[in-house]
Structure 1
Amino acid sequence: MDITAVDLFCGAGGLTHGLIQAGINVKLGVDIDQNCKYPYETNNNAKFIGCSVEDITGKDLAKYFDTSSIRLLAGCAPCQTFSTYNQKANSTDKRWWLLMQFSRLVKESSPDIVTMENVPGLLSQDIFHTFVNNLKMAGYFVDYKVVNSAEYGLPQRRRRLVLLASQKGPIELLSPKALDVEIHTVRDAIAHLPSLKDGEMHPDDPLHQCSSLSLLNRKRMNASLPGGTWRDWDEELIADCHKKTSGKTYPGVYARMEWDKPAPTITTQYYGFGNGRFGHPEQNRAISLREGAIFQGFPRDYQFIRHGESINKRIIGRMIGNAVPVKLGEVIGKSILSHLKNNCA
């Protein structure tokens, strides 16, 4: 079935790439981050517009929808404002209201299918239920649920809210059982990659590089066990902030992954050993930029920068950590195709 799609808040192309793998023709990605233009267009054969969705109209989107096909509007509005990690964000943050811009574009373009992915914390916000009610009032059948991406084959534990809406009839995300999913682990994802020392870059893949460690953090790394915490260390290695009562509730930093389990949630700062459970299970270093991309489901040859361009870990880490996992995008795409097969035959 011919489906054309537009991906709002597209980032480096995680959702788009997954939809393409499912067989959906994504024509356009929109994102305010200009750093995403190269990876998005290079890997997905789709056009990228670098601007805020506030500056896009339904007429703009209509230029990219094939009127003879099923039209899909997809997107993941910035999730930082709704994340449990962000204790300060509220409705005074401009990003909070971007979900309503998504709602506006649904109203102006009237796509056949809508999908949205975000953090589970969005469920508790009135703005999400306003978004859902707007869809229902416009005649969409709506379904949403929180899923663990690891159950769909992503080698990472990542709980996400997935919404699907259709004008064609009831729609829902396919279950892992329906897709006959195989669970993947850290070992499956990265055990085959070349070894690195901290601060080293592999000559054949500039993205397979990892951050340097201070002398103290090298000692901490040596003392860390897969699945363990900094509580396992000798007293002199423990950071002063963790010795305080308030700091004892954060055991998931300065920790190693485990080979035979999915990775923890990949954040925008996953390349730093002290930022989470991002230590390599065996080698004395944090995971590399490439390894983080693989945990997000990106193919190993996915290009994030031009050949020879200098690598900025902060920029690339943000693009990868903020991405919709490719595997989840593929599951969403397959669910849409299954729905249309049942409702448009």
Structure 2
Amino acid sequence: MDSGPSAIDLFCGAGGLSEGLRRAGYDVRWAVDYDESAVETHRENHGDYAIQADIRETDPAEDGPDIEPGNLDLVAGGPPCPSFSTIGRSKLGSLEDRSVDEDDRNVLYLDFLRYVKHFQPRAFVMENVPGMLTDTVTVESDTVQESLPIGEEQEVEQSPVGEEVPVTEVIIEEMEGLGYTVDKFLVDAADFGVPQHRERLFFIGRQIGKALPELTRWYTHREPTDREKDQQMQIRPELRDSTDKSQETFKTGLSSVLPPFEPDREYRLPYLTVADAIMDLPPISPDGEMPPNQATEYTLPPVSPYQEWARNVPDGEDWEDQPLRNHDARWHNHLDLSIYKLLGHGVGWNIGQVSTRLQPYRDDVFSDKYKKQNPAKPASTILAHMRKDGHMFIHPTEARSLSPREAARIQSFRDTYWVPESRTDAYRLIGNAVPPRLGEAVGVAVRQTILTDSHTDG
């Protein structure tokens, strides 16, 4: 049995957070998700401990893991929260009259708290979208208990009826009502070595003690200097000309472009870029002629350190013998391909900014846009919307959108991480996932700041 801290993953999706926690040394013992493809993907990569279920219909005591309350180190997860704008505060904090037939994903975080309440973990981590920071709810009742989760009865200061209250304030009140010290943290995945700008909000709570991890202390990467910006790709040291002095980054003593997470690192590496992440992958094309529609073998060795890390070739094996999966091009019509070629690196057009002759959709129906990724910068946020079209994720040098494998690389999934062959499922699962590298960073910070102290105090 793994001796690392124990954890469970609620709303586990394809397993990005589980993978990050595993890399951080956790023993993830149980996971749950409603989506069949997500659970299949999680099981393929992590074993059979994930269950498919609607969490609203589960009982932590009967359906959850066989762990005694108080013996679990971490409850983690990212409940979907599309919008709180139309929900009043009393409804937000009530489990009464909920139906699985209703689209009440806004309050699924209450089911996260049900598991926290039952298992009484030493810590919890709840991940969500940054838009939650701007959402507010209206106080609809002066009855405090209506806004508290699962029947708790604590003395909580109540805002006046009719007042707009930040959703995050309500959620933190409810978490604190369960006996936890809680704070929220907004971070960008690029600061942790993910080749993508992806902001995410984390609520972190601890049961014993007051110190919470300041996630900024665990940054490993940073905005590049002007000189570093001229380099579109970091080259593996053994492949560089020995006279090339343009990349002093690798003279810092760091053995990897993905250094381990340590607080207050003296030197941080420049952001990883789209080129660092994907430019070693073989060319493919939508028409399937030359290049082919799908590539199942690598044609070049990894050029950047990140590419070498992503391929994850076992010791003693050759990269040429490793299969390449999920690297296939979706079909694009001739108009899309022509526009893709017109765009420069990092250039985007919002639908509606150009003539109707140069756009595929009505601008009063779809708020879509074209965006060619810049090879010299981190990618823009990978979204599940890719399953519908790839206009926002155009390849830097090829007239097509990113393949599922390229999207997975940008999310910090290694090439050996299994995802479905179906492009629709793959794009959706990859886009919705927590980047494993980000999950690892948060896991390490929680382990070092909270769990070590908790075990010592206990």
TM normalised by structure 1 equals 0.86
Structure-2 change in CA distance of 1:237 and 1:271 (3 Å)? farther
> Secondary structure, in 3 states, of the residue corresponding to 2:335?
helix
Matched, 1:209 2:250: no
- 1:256 counterpart = 2:372: yes
Amino acid at match of 2:434: V
Q: Distance in 1 between matches of 2:54 and 2:379?
A: 32
Q: How does 1:302-313 map to 2 (within 5 A)?
A: 302-305=417-420, 311-313=421-423
Contact persistence 1:74–1:115 (CA under 8 A): yes
Change (3 A) 1:273 1:54: closer
1:293-342 Cα deviation digits (max 9, x unpaired): 1111111111013xxxxx33222211111111111110111011111234
1:269 equivalent in structure 2? 385
Residues 1:190 and 2:300 aligned together: no
Matches within 5 A, 1:152-301: 152-169=192-209, 170-175=211-216, 176=219, 178=263, 180=265, 181-182=268-269, 183-198=271-286, 200-204=293-297, 205-230=324-349, 238-239=358-359, 253-270=369-386, 275-276=391-392, 278-301=393-416
The whole-number CA distance in structure 1 between the counterparts of 2:374 and 2:87 is: 32
The answer to whether the 8 A contact 1:147-1:160 is kept is yes
Q: Which residue of 1 aligns with 2:244?
A: none
1:104 matched to 2:114? yes
Deviation at 1:291, TM superposition (A): 0.7
Give the residue type in structure 1 aligned to 2:132.
Answer: L
Please report how far the alpha carbon of residue 140 of structure 1 lies from its aligned counterpart in structure 2 after TM superposition: 0.8
Point out which structure has higher relative CO (alpha carbons under 8 A, 6+ apart).
1
Report if the CA contact (8 A) 1:219-1:237 is conserved: no
Could you tell me how far 1:236 is from its partner in structure 2? Answer: 7.6
Aligned partner letter, 2:34? I
Contact 2:38 2:429 in 1 (8 A): yes
Q: Secondary structure at the match of 1:269?
A: helix
Distance 1:7 1:15, change over 3 A: same
The structure in which a higher percent of residues are helix is: 1
Task: State the alpha-carbon separation in 1 of the partners of residues 402 and 326 from structure 2.
Answer: 11
Distance in 1 of aligned mates of 2:325 and 2:445: 35
Shift of 1:237: 5.1
Q: Which residue of 2 aligns with 1:308?
A: none
What does the per-residue CA deviation read over 1:170-229, in whole Å, with 9 as the maximum and x for residues that have no partner? 212432163645321111111111111125111343411121111111211111111113
1:314 to 417, 424, 446: 424
Gaps of at least 5 residues in structure 2 are: 93-101, 138-166, 221-262, 288-292, 298-323
Contact 1:228 1:256 in 2 (8 A): yes
2:192 counterpart letter in structure 1: Y
Given candidates 112, 137, 142, the residue that maps to 2:177 is 137
Tell me the TM-score normalised to structure 2 length.
0.66
2:33 to 31, 56, 67: 31
Q: Quick one: distance in 1 between partners of 2:49 and 2:264?
A: 30
Letter in 1 for 2:283: S
Deviation at 1:272, TM superposition (A): 6.0
The answer to whether the 8 Å contact 2:70/2:121 transfers is no
Return the alpha-carbon distance in structure 2 between the equivalents of residues 110 and 48 of structure 1. Answer: 21
Aligned residue for 2:131?
A: 121
Distance 1:221 1:56, change over 3 A: same
Q: Which amino acid aligns with 1:30?
A: V
Q: Contact 1:81–1:93 at 8 Å: present in 2 too? A: no
Q: Distance between the aligned counterparts of 2:409 and 2:136, measured in 1? A: 31
Could you tell me how far apart the structure 1 residues matched to 2:80 and 2:131 are?
A: 12
- Contact 2:69–2:121, Cα closer than 8 Å, also in 1: no
Higher mean displacement: 176-185 or 220-229 = 176-185
| Shift of residue 68, structure 1, vs aligned partner | 8.7
Letter in structure 2 aligned against 1:160: R
Task: Please give the alpha-carbon distance, in whole angstroms, between the structure 1 residues aligned to 2:34 and 2:397.
Answer: 38
Distance, in Å, in 1 between the alignment partners of 2:399 and 2:333 is 12
Shift in Å, 1:130: 3.1
Deviates more, 1:53-62 or 1:102-111: 53-62
Q: Distance in 1 between matches of 2:294 and 2:274?
A: 20
Count of matched residue positions in the alignment of Structure 1 and Structure 2: 331
Q: Distance in 2 between matches of 1:332 and 1:65?
A: 23
Equivalent-residue separation in structure 2 for 1:319 and 1:158 (angstroms): 16
* RMSD after superposition: 2.9
The one-character-per-residue Cα deviations of 1:90-132 (angstroms, maximum 9, x if unpaired) are: 9773111211111222112211111010001223344543332
